[in-house]
């Protein structure tokens, strides 16, 4: 009966989503595109913005070209750089207060997924001052237009510059919860490969595998439409063809640019088609142990795909064809396993571990409970997982 309820809930949500606004962000693309952003903002009558980022990016001076151009354009700004790797409710409240106290008129989210998530949630708090972050968790709880929001990704991974979700860590319970609402989707995004040139190889690899996970989980799920199928296929091909190139040569601008496009397409796919149990488990490893999200997804992805078994053979076989690793005489099952093997090969080639040594035995029941709470019925997965199956998958992650 539970499985039937989950499937009915997913179908109802898929139908309801047909009536939502799926407008994609306006894009500034290409080398040095970020320096064009201040003029765009000024042309919209905005005179002061809050820039949300982290101290690591500030110390690397990656924002300097943008800040210089903002001064030239007489665009006033204030910076919040206190974002943590897994942004907390405290981060969001600090960010919101800075926006209000400085009478800002818009937000620039600059960085990876953490600054994006923090900025989205803080902007939601600005327009909903009486609604706490805990009450926003889940689907369609914000329902209010955000201040003008400009997303500038510095990793090719989260796709947050085009998604309707923000993931927040609750420091009291160590849970990671998503806030999902179409109003959180940025209206403007900058895809500038020069901002990703300085990424360390291990960040390039794990954020790239995060993007691949978005594309694959969206593709194999049950809430696809024509556009999400197309985006997921294009994203998978772009990421497969370019991730290891960007990992081996961080200054390869073409590979970096293609990775940004792949991440953006994957974001377009999963923001409507959703993700699955890979993310459900990864979010809870992040909440419990502060595991970097991309790293968690990379390690978990092949193990969950193996668990799905024959329910994903057809779609994984198609992806194997698309990336060019299949042979004409292969069965769908053989192609699917070839695709999973290729994920494991990529992980190994980029020094991503096969397992984790930090998962504690005593935490497994809570991890299982929270992962299934997130996954069921929220994610339209190809096959529904129960407690014993989830525990087995989590144990397969333990070194």
For residue 1, is pLDDT > 90? no
Ranges 63-67, 73-77, 83-87, 144-148: which has the least confidence: 83-87
**pLDDT value of residue 237:** 98
Q: Is residue 7 part of a domain?
A: no
Which CATH number characterizes residue 191's domain? 3.40.50.1970
Residues 116 and 217 placed together within one structural domain of the fold: no
**pLDDT value of residue 364:** 98
Residues 158 and 278 placed together within one structural domain of the fold: no
First-to-last alpha carbon distance for the chain, in angstroms, is 35
DSSP assigned state of 23 = P
Residues 184 and 302 placed together within one structural domain of the fold: no
pLDDT confidence tier of residue 176, bands split at 50, 70 and 90: confident
**pLDDT value of residue 198:** 83
Please tell me the distance from the alpha carbon of residue 360 to that of residue 353, in angstroms, as a whole number: 17
Residues 65 and 96 placed together within one structural domain of the fold: yes
Which CATH number characterizes residue 360's domain? 1.20.1090.10
Q: What is the mean pLDDT of residues 36-63?
A: 96
Please tell me the distance from the alpha carbon of residue 113 to that of residue 349, in angstroms, as a whole number: 24
Residues 188 and 278 placed together within one structural domain of the fold: no
**196, 215, 232 — which closes off a domain?**
196
For residue 353, is pLDDT > 90? yes
Q: Is residue 13 part of a domain?
A: no
For residue 68, is pLDDT > 90? yes
Q: Is residue 97 part of a domain?
A: yes
Q: Is residue 15 part of a domain?
A: no
pLDDT confidence tier of residue 242, bands split at 50, 70 and 90: very high
Residues 239 and 352 placed together within one structural domain of the fold: yes
Domain count, the chain: 2
**pLDDT value of residue 6:** 96
Identify the domain containing residue 307 by its residue range.
201-396
Q: Is residue 297 part of a domain?
A: yes
Residues of the chain above pLDDT 90, percent:
95
Residues 176 and 286 placed together within one structural domain of the fold: no
Residues 275 and 383 placed together within one structural domain of the fold: yes
Residues 132 and 244 placed together within one structural domain of the fold: no
Ranges 24-28, 181-185, 196-200, 330-334: which has the least confidence: 196-200
Q: Which two tokens mark 117?
A: 């998530």
Q: What is the mean pLDDT of residues 294-317?
A: 98
Cα-trace Rg, the chain: 20
Please tell me the distance from the alpha carbon of residue 359 to that of residue 398, in angstroms, as a whole number: 6
State the pTM of this model.
0.96
**172, 196, 220 — which closes off a domain?**
196
Question: How does pLDDT run across 267-286, given as a tens digit for each residue?
Answer: 999 999 999 999 999 999 99
**167, 196, 225 — which closes off a domain?**
196
pLDDT confidence tier of residue 367, bands split at 50, 70 and 90: very high
Q: Is residue 355 part of a domain?
A: yes
Q: Is residue 228 part of a domain?
A: yes
pLDDT confidence tier of residue 177, bands split at 50, 70 and 90: confident
Decide: 99 and 126 in contact? Cβ < 8 Å: yes
pLDDT confidence tier of residue 213, bands split at 50, 70 and 90: very high
Higher pLDDT: 173 or 381? It is 381
Residues of the chain above pLDDT 70, percent:
100
Q: Is residue 3 part of a domain?
A: no
Question: How does pLDDT run across 192-202, given as a tens digit for each residue?
Answer: 999 999 899 99
**pLDDT value of residue 17:** 92
Residues 209 and 116 placed together within one structural domain of the fold: no
Task: Calculate the alpha carbon distances from 276 to 141, 223, 356 in Å.
Answer: 21, 11, 20
Residues 99 and 240 placed together within one structural domain of the fold: no
**pLDDT value of residue 30:** 96
Q: What is the mean pLDDT of residues 239-253?
A: 98
Q: Which of 239, 226, 245 is nearest to 265 (CA)?
A: 239
For residue 231, is pLDDT > 90? yes
Residues 236 and 337 placed together within one structural domain of the fold: yes
Higher pLDDT: 143 or 344? It is 344
pLDDT confidence tier of residue 15, bands split at 50, 70 and 90: very high
**pLDDT value of residue 174:** 86
Task: For residue 23, count other CB atoms closer than 10 A to its CB.
Answer: 9
């Amino acid at each position: 009966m539970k499985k039937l309820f989950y499937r009915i809930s997913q179908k109802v949500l898929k139908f309801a989503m047909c009536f939502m606004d799926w407008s994609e962000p306006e894009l500034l693309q290409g080398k040095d595109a970020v320096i064009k952003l201040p003029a765009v903002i000024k042309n919209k009558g905005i005179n002061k913005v809050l820039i949300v980022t982290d101290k690591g990016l500030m110390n690397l001076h990656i924002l300097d070209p943008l800040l210089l151009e903002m001064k030239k354009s007489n665009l006033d700004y204030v910076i919040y750089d206190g974002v943590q790797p897994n942004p907390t409710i405290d981060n969001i409240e600090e960010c919101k207060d800075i926006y209000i106290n400085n009478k800002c008129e818009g937000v620039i989210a600059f960085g990876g997924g953490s600054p994006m998530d923090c900025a989205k949630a803080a902007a939601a708090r600005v327009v909903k001052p009486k609604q706490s972050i805990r009450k926003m968790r889940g689907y369609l709880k914000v329902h209010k237009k955000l201040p003008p929001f400009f997303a500038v990704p510095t990793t090719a991974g989260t796709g947050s510059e085009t998604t309707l979700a923000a993931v927040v860590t609750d420091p009291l319970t160590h849970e990671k919860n998503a806030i999902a609402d179409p109003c959180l989707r940025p209206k403007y995004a900058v895809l500038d490969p020069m901002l990703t040139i300085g990424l360390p190889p291990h960040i390039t690899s794990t954020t790239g595998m995060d993007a691949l996970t978005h594309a694959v989980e969206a593709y194999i799920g049950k809430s696809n439409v024509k556009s999400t199928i197309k985006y997921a296929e294009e994203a998978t091909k772009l990421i497969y063809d370019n991730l290891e190139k960007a990992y081996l040569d961080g200054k390869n601008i073409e590979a970096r640019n293609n990775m940004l496009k792949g991440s953006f397409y994957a974001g377009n796919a999963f923001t409507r088609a959703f993700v699955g149990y890979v993310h459900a488990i990864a979010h809870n490893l992040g909440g419990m142990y502060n595991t970097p999200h991309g790293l968690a997804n990379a390690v978990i992805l092949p193990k969950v795909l193996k668990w799905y078994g024959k329910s994903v053979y057809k779609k994984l076989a198609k992806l194997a064809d698309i990336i060019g690793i299949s042979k004409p005489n292969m069965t769908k099952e053989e192609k699917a396993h070839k695709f999973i093997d290729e994920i494991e090969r990529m992980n190994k080639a980029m020094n991503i571990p096969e397992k984790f040594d930090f998962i504690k035995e005593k935490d497994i029941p809570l991890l299982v409970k929270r992962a299934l709470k997130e996954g069921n019925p929220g994610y339209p997965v190809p096959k529904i997982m129960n407690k014993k199956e989830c525990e087995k998958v989590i144990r397969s992650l333990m070194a």
